[in-house]
Amino acid sequence: MASKISRAKSASKATPSPRRVPWVAVVGAAAVLGAGSAVLVLRQPAAEQATEAAAPAGAEAEFQQRLAELRARVAARPGSPAELADLARLYHVNGYNDEARAAWLELHQLQPNDARWPYYLADLARTASDPAGIEEWLRKTVEIAPDYAPAWLQLGELAFKAARFEDAERAYRRRLELVAHDPYAAFGLARVKFQTGRRTKGKQAIEELLRATPGFSSAHNFYAEILAQENKTEEAADARWRGTTSGRFRAADDPWLEELRDWCYDPDQLVVWGEIDLQTKRGDHGRKFLERAVALEPDSSRAFEKLGEFYLEQREPEKARQTLERGKHRAGASESLYLGLCRAYEMLQRTADALQATEDGLAIMPDSSALYSSRGLLLGSMGRFDEAVESMRKSIELAPGSPSAVSSFGLLLLHAGKRDEAIAQFKRALQIQPRFHQALTTLGRLELEAGRPREAANYIRPFFDQFPGSRAARDLMSKLYIGFALEAVRAKNEPAAEQACREGLEIVPDSPELHGFLGTFYAHQNRVPEAIASLEASDRLRPNDPRTMLPLAQLYQASGQIENARRLLARAEAEARRNGQSDAAAQFAELLRRLPR
């Protein structure tokens, strides 16, 4: 989709308009190298000069101002690569492709040993759907900078699409030399194997990739097609589902293209980048893009929604509240905005204001099932159960096929102490959508609380299969295997308890809870070296947890590792004091004092 700035630019070429963006034409240096920089600043028509001061506020006006500044700098320093590069960046990322191409060409001639200029020309050739141009400029890039891994990945993809599989394999392998264990190159090599008749090895490569990078959605989708061709219908559906739930696909890191983003004045594009970073937990999680989008386009409800979502995920509810309240008044109504505002007030423990946010939203959007559901939960938390039930029933009526509305009704019933009725609602939600995450996790937790890990596994494992990389799924899986171990301990089957912990650690090797439980188990069996190793692993994964530090210090002391015990207790005391836990700090200090000198 063309950006707002790009649309204004296209329109201006057809008909002069007060909204026309002033522009600088950059011509190739070959014609005028002897005269210095090849930048020609075109004079605006008189009518445009008269109306430029009345340009609208927002993204376009800021773009015009930045463009004018760069025009002046280029004019003041003709032949300066630094000034021309800034102008090219501004053009490139805002959709002025012809002007950007001319500038990069001139820079390539002025600085032939800078690989960024041909790389940017390759990107423009991609925009123009010019595969020959893409390859020409990528080849120049790797000649100058043979270690720039993103260029090799692009060369691999280009060759693969052209069915030049030997070239593709060479490029992917070069990428892997530069970026060890890179999933993008590994995926490319697996596809090459399939295309060249090495199906068994290709399937093995995909399976290895998915074990190493379970969140790589493209590999799940490809694996689903493999299984479908083998008539493994259920397994294919499962792989396809994992591809859907493993998160949004994110292109490989590309620092040279990413550095252009600071020059973008298109709010819609900034929101897209921010949303991708937010969903993939990348960098600052999209903060700078979303904050910039709101600043440039204060009438965009989507920008406010996503920035509010960012603040909520970062546990900054007051910032979220301020942002979403501004959005409500500046950008108008949207369901997501009011739901986010409700969540912000809840996090601030302002239940009455949260309820008012749902009421305000429903006054504008009376057919919103999600707002009725949120309203019902809030009313339930305030003890207004009859009103809450009525609101939940309205939510289900508006979205009869929605597992979310049914599951939320289950939460309301659970909070009201109606456990059996709540469980019936969660199971009903699973009938609508068998893998609905809220129902799976709640039922799994309820079964664990009841001491029935075998039944809990029926819910926790499908949830983990969908979201193996999520913290919530990994925590639940850890609790499940601790449940298995406790069940074995109660049955006085110690080998089974140890086996349960080890099986759990094969699935969630970074679980401090499982390492800690296993360490305590070993300590009770007087297997001191194994207990110390497990508790040390738990302490590495979750430092400064007294539940781990205290038994570990005691084991150090019992095994004669006095200095280790002293260091650990000193750290525990300092951490307790930092957290204002004076009683715990005093306990650690006393244990430290009693250590032999």
Per-residue pLDDT, 373: 92
215 torsion bin: left (phi>0), alpha (psi -120 to 50), beta (else): alpha
Cα 455–403–464 angle (5° rounding)? 45
- Cβ atoms < 10 Å from Cβ of 160: 20
The pLDDT of residue 189: 96
User: C-alpha distances in angstroms, 466 versus 82, 242, 480?
Assistant: 49, 5, 16
**Percentage helix, strand, coil, to 5, in the chain?**
75, 0, 25
Structure tokens that stand for 428 in this block? 């009903």
Distance in angstroms (rounded) separating the CA atoms of residues 320 and 9? 35
Tokens of 115: 């690989």
pLDDT at position 283 is 57
Is 379 in contact with 395 (CB distance < 8 Å)?
Answer: no
Question: How many of the other CB atoms lie within 10 Å of CB of 186?
Answer: 21
CA–CA distance, 578 with 588 (Å, rounded to integer):
13
The rounded distance, in Å, linking the Cα atoms of 547 and 462 is 30
Determine the Cα–Cα distance for residues 138 and 150; give it in Å rounded to an integer. Answer: 10
Of residues 319, 274, 276, the one with CA closest to residue 300: 274
CA distances from 454 to 80, 368, 393, 457 (A): 71, 38, 33, 5
Residues of the chain under the 50 pLDDT cut: 1-2, 4, 6-56
Q: What is the DSSP string of 181-235?
A: T-HHHHHHHHHHHHHTT-HHHHHHHHHHHHHH-TT-HHHHHHHHHHHHHTT-HHH
What the block records as the tokens of 298 is: 């204060």
Longest dimension (CA), the chain: 93
Alpha carbon distances (Å) from 257 to 203, 205, 285, 407: 33, 30, 18, 43
Q: How far apart are CA 139 and CA 148, in angstroms?
A: 11
Name the burial class of residue 281, with classes exposed (0-12), middle (13-18) and buried (19+) by CB atoms within 10 angstroms of its CB. Answer: exposed
Query: What is the spatial distance between Cα 352 and Cα 347, in angstroms, rounded to a whole number?
Result: 12
Residue among 462, 439, 506 at smallest CA distance from 242 = 462
**Gap between the Cα atoms of 575 and 520, Å rounded:** 22
Q: 596, 585, 535, 530: which is closest to 561 by C-alpha?
A: 596
The burial of 597, by beta-carbon neighbours within 10 Å (0-12 exposed, 13-18 middle, 19 or more buried), is given as exposed
Rounded-to-integer distance, Cα 485 and Cα 515, Å: 12
d(CA 211, CA 226): 16
Give the pLDDT confidence score for residue 402 in this predicted structure.
87
Q: For residue 444, count other CB atoms closer than 10 A to its CB.
A: 25
Question: In terms of Cα–Cα distance, which of 371, 289, 263, 366 is closest to 309?
Answer: 289
DSSP state of 45: P
| pLDDT for 282 | 65
Which secondary-structure segment (H or E) carries 40?
A: strand 39-40
* 25-26/39-40 β-pairing: antiparallel
Q: What is the pLDDT of residue 314?
A: 81
What pLDDT, on a 0 to 100 scale, did the predictor assign at position 111? 95
Rounded Cα distance between 341 and 337, Å, is 6
Nearest to 395 by CA among 413, 377, 416: 377
Q: What letters, b where the CB count within 10 A reaches 16 and e where it falls short, cover 134-153?
A: bbebbebbbebbeebbbbbb
pLDDT digit string, tens, across residues 483-500: 999 999 999 999 999 999
Q: Which has the closest alpha carbon to 22: 75, 57, 64?
A: 64
* Backbone φ/ψ region at 163: left (φ over 0), alpha (ψ -120 to 50), beta: left
User: Exposed, middle or buried, 578 (CB in 10 Å: 0-12/13-18/19+)?
Assistant: exposed
pTM of the model: 0.62
- Altogether, the residues listed in the chain come to a count of 597
User: Given CA atoms 121, 123, 129, 131 in this order, what sign does their dihedral have?
Assistant: positive
